[in-house]
Structure 1
Amino acid sequence: MCSQHSLRFYIENKRQDMIKAAENFGMNAEITIKHSQELDELLNQYWRVVFETNENPVVKFS
């Protein structure tokens, strides 16, 4: 399982991918939705790590 720090990195990258896809192809494009679903999974993983390890959550994503 990834660390909280590495998950924040992956989350931010996926968020940027989703934004770029939405700008280029639209909000309802398959690629945008795929990035959104992948981002959801990363966020779920992040919170699992936070609660399982009792780490202090860092909730600010740039």
Structure 2
Amino acid sequence: MKQSTVEQIEMLRERMTDSALKKGRGHPETIGLSRQLDELLNRYDSDQTGIQEQE
């Protein structure tokens, strides 16, 4: 079953937070997860904006 975008956002957020706590905010893994989360949030925001404009 495919995860919803909101579920993907929450999963990435949890992974990023866990990485930051264990490895530090400047660790490459944490930064990579942060970038992935940013991209997903931007895509979600864009999708939501498109839906609102159609209404």
From the two aligned structures, give the one with the greater helix fraction: 2
**Structure-1-length-normalised TM-score:** 0.76
1:37 — aligned with what? 35
Tell me the matched-pair count.
Answer: 51
Q: What is the rounded CA distance, in whole Å, between the counterparts of 2:34 and 2:17 in structure 1?
A: 9
The percentage of counterpart residues that share the same residue type is: 35
Mark the structure with the bigger radius of gyration: 2
**Structure-2-length-normalised TM-score:** 0.85
Relative contact order higher in (CA < 8 Å, ≥ 6 apart): 1
Moved over 3 A (4+): none
Unaligned ranges ≥5, structure 2: none
